[in-house]
Structure 1
Amino acid sequence: MTTVVFTHGTGVREPHLTALLTRVASGLAAADPRVRLTAYDWGGPHGARLAADGASIPAAPGTGTGRGTGDPDDGDGTEEWARLYEDPTAELVTVPGGAGPRVTPPGAAFPDERPRSLLREIAARGEPRADALGPGLPEAAAELARSALLGPAAEALDQETLALVLARALTATVIAARLAADSPVQSGGDARDTAVAALAERLGAAPAGTGRGPLLRTAGRPLVRLGSRYAVRRRRALTDAAHPAAGDILKYLARGEAMRQGLRDLVAALEPPVVLVGHSLGGIISLDTLISGPLPGVELLVTVGSQGPFLYETGALPSLAHPDPLPAHVPPWLNLYDRRDLLGYAAEPLFPGRADDIATDSRQPFPVAHSAYWTDPAVYRAIGERLP
């Protein structure tokens, strides 16, 4: 009788482990009724936990304990800027809502003609006082000058307010582009607000003057409440929910030997043939353990939605550095990944002739796809066809 040792992934603890094992046992039984399933529950004895009950988590705003306990947003627009970095035109879309169209007398210029002209000037000549934002301002100004959103905003807002809204949209566009490019250097809030004030002045607002005058203060505070302080206020609860998964990965990479030794001890007590099936971090543990030394009786390795190949390629797999080959004692390796699972990686291109990839499709978006393998009959068929 073949014994399948199932090694779970990050963050899995009871009672969820039992529910997962029940589903896996049912799927394996359908593929081969002779299979016996054994779980390697490394999460219980070796998984990450907050040893000091979360003492490293800063106190929630307003609790009056620790340094810097005031509200980090505190009305300065930080959360709204976060929303603008996600969508630099969010304010332009939202502000005109509910405002009636402005009537333009015959022969008069339309409200958006002058701001479009000023934006084209910035596109042509730039704005030296906004250089702290980094490159990309001329391109952002040219794109905004062509935007269909400018017309309704110009009809709804006075010149001063419109200039600020356009300046914030330009600034957010430049910063968002640098974020998307993973730039390691970003301007601080003061430099950002100074750039907004300078751009607003170029676009028709009154001069900012020196210091944090009214325009400079207003520059940093978007008009519309575009964000929330939910994440900061609930940091403890969110950390409690997320730390087992993130902590498990960090702990394994820093101190994974205990997890590998636990798997060796479990396999040593089993009658062969043995198959190791590992999901996510469980696949990394299984692969790493096999690479680090022979496991007598293990005839097949199955990794599912696992990051082992990625860690190997990036030099982060503890037991094997790229481009070193798999040791000869590693048994045949079946690697399954869902095309929509952003945490599943291909092994065959890195280990040709030693690993076989099968791409599945649960038709679920990420992150659901990362946990949908165990309800996919194709996964069990692939494993069943290769069981010794």
Structure 2
Amino acid sequence: MTTVVFTHGTGVREPHLGGLLAHITSGLAATAPGAHLVAYDWGGPHGARLAADGASIPAAPGAGTGRSAADPDESDETQEWARLYADPSAELATAAAGVAGHATPPGAAFPDERPRAVLLEIAARGEPGADPLAPGLHEAAAALARSPLLGPAAEALDQETLASVLARALTATVVAADIEADSPVQISGDVRDAAVAALAGRLGAAPVGTGRGPLLRMAGRPLLRLGSRYAVRRRRALTDAAHPAAGDILKYLARGEDMRQGLRDLVATLEPPVVLLGHSLGGIISLDTLISGPLPGVELLTTVGSQGPFLYETGALPSLAHPDPLPGHVPPWLNLYDRRDLLGYAAEPLFPGRAHDVTTDSRQPFPVAHSAYWGDPAVYRAIGERLP
């Protein structure tokens, strides 16, 4: 039996680690049923802590803070979803703002009656085609049924367009809640789009094939500004969530030997063959530990969304300086990165013949893409194909 030692990334602590491990165990079972997953929880004993209860964190700036990054590519659907995650009601608000009031004839149903009733049914019983969104879907549907935007939007849009807009709003609300909760696992773009299609069909639309939002493209700049406003509103929450991640990186680069030694000690207790599987900083720890000395029994290094190659190229990897080659005792290296994950880097160009890159695409915007690997079947297939 192959033992896979999973080394988590920055900021991951319980209770999130347990859920992440269960997710990876399930994913590996489909492609490597003989593998046994073991966790290296370095965050508990060695992770960063705010010793002065966050005294160094500055107060959040005012709401007038401007954008710090270039405008996103308007042709990319992932940016439309990024805006919806920032404000799930954006499309509804856009539609409601353009409606002209009119009278409903006596005895006729109001335009929002049917969608409101369906939303309440979803809140009570869910939607089988959107199971990956449970349990947050129930609360999201109930809130959307009560939204004051629903009536005006229903008057402004035809049934099919309204159904798609509501489906995207529901999906974005659930994903946004996961982002807010710092969930280490995010659904892939394909799973998201399938949920949107199922919800839109339940709400009265014909089958749809994508999650693109035409009203988002029409809205333009006002929605672009939502991203900045969203970040400012969450400044304290973002900082509180980021400090273990940023602190973990800094602590590892300054005093990482305890983390490496903990991994050595764990591997020494395991029967070979052993595979090291590291995500983000966990990949750096795994790579660095292997470079610093042989680990008997370890036959494969797998890094996912990791910055090890970048640190090596910049001269910041503790155990190996560029352009020194990988030591001969380092086993074969499988490196996976999502092209939308700005924290994932390529290893093969730096270590030709020693590292093998596999590019994935969760179709999620950054930073969701950095946690979406574990919801992407392609990741587990790539790992399963190379396990000893």
Q: Give TM class, smaller chain.
A: 0.5 to 0.7
Q: Which deviates further from its counterpart, 285-294 or 244-253? A: 244-253
Tell me the distance in 2 between the aligned counterparts of 1:41 and 1:325. Answer: 29
1:322 matched to which residue of 2?
322
Per-residue CA deviations over 1:140-167 (Å, capped at 9, x if unaligned) read xxxxxxxxxxxxxxxxxxxxxxxxxxxx
| AA of the residue aligned to 1:83 | G
Per-residue CA deviations over 1:284-337 (Å, capped at 9, x if unaligned) read 000000000000000000000100000000001000000000000000000001
| AA of the residue aligned to 1:294 | P
Q: In 2, are the aligned partners of 1:79 and 1:227 still within 8 Å (CA)?
A: no
1:351 matched to which residue of 2?
351
How far 1:238 moved relative to its partner? 3.9
User: Gapped runs of 5+ residues in structure 1?
Assistant: 62-72, 89-225
User: Gapped runs of 5+ residues in structure 2?
Assistant: 72-225
1:270 aligns with 2:270: yes
Tell me the distance in 2 between the aligned counterparts of 1:54 and 1:337. Answer: 32
Tell me the distance in 2 between the aligned counterparts of 1:384 and 1:264. Answer: 24
Q: In 2, are the aligned partners of 1:279 and 1:303 still within 8 Å (CA)?
A: yes
How far 1:87 moved relative to its partner? 9.3
Q: How many correspondences in the alignment? A: 235
Q: Secondary structure at the match of 1:372?
A: helix
Choose which of 43, 51, 66 in structure 2 pairs with 1:83.
66
1:95 matched to which residue of 2?
none
**Identity across the alignment (%):** 86
Per-residue CA deviations over 1:4-37 (Å, capped at 9, x if unaligned) read 0000111111111001000100111111211110
1:297 matched to which residue of 2?
297
Q: Secondary structure at the match of 2:356?
A: strand
1:386 aligns with 2:386: yes
Moved over 6 A (4+): 84-88, 226-234
Q: Secondary structure at the match of 2:366?
A: coil
2:140 matched to which residue of 1?
none
Q: Secondary structure at the match of 1:5?
A: strand
- After the TM superposition, which residues 148-163 of structure 1 pair with which residues of structure 2 at under 5 Å, given as runs? none
Per-residue CA deviations over 1:74-108 (Å, capped at 9, x if unaligned) read xxxx864x4388799xxxxxxxxxxxxxxxxxxxx
- CA 1:363 to 1:10, structure 2 compared with 1: closer, same or farther past 3 Å? same
Tell me the TM-score normalized by structure 2.
Answer: 0.56
1:361 aligns with 2:344: no
2:129 matched to which residue of 1?
none
Q: Secondary structure at the match of 2:301?
A: strand
Tell me the TM-score normalized by structure 1.
Answer: 0.56
Q: In 2, are the aligned partners of 1:276 and 1:301 still within 8 Å (CA)?
A: yes
- CA 1:239 to 1:336, structure 2 compared with 1: closer, same or farther past 3 Å? same
Q: In 2, are the aligned partners of 1:6 and 1:37 still within 8 Å (CA)?
A: yes
Q: In 1, are the aligned partners of 2:67 and 2:228 still within 8 Å (CA)?
A: no
1:46 matched to which residue of 2?
46
Q: Secondary structure at the match of 1:275?
A: strand
- CA 1:334 to 1:84, structure 2 compared with 1: closer, same or farther past 3 Å? closer
Tell me the distance in 2 between the aligned counterparts of 1:87 and 1:345. Answer: 21
2:28 matched to which residue of 1?
28
Per-residue CA deviations over 1:107-134 (Å, capped at 9, x if unaligned) read xxxxxxxxxxxxxxxxxxxxxxxxxxxx
Q: Relative contact order (alpha carbons < 8 A, sep ≥ 6): 1 or 2 greater? A: 2
Q: Secondary structure at the match of 1:28?
A: helix
How far 1:229 moved relative to its partner? 9.7
- After the TM superposition, which residues 1-388 of structure 1 pair with which residues of structure 2 at under 5 Å, given as runs? 1-58=1-58, 60=59, 80=64, 82-83=65-66, 237-388=237-388
Q: In 2, are the aligned partners of 1:83 and 1:227 still within 8 Å (CA)?
A: no
Tell me the distance in 1 between the aligned counterparts of 2:67 and 2:271. Answer: 60
Tell me the distance in 2 between the aligned counterparts of 1:231 and 1:382. Answer: 35
- CA 1:285 to 1:86, structure 2 compared with 1: closer, same or farther past 3 Å? closer
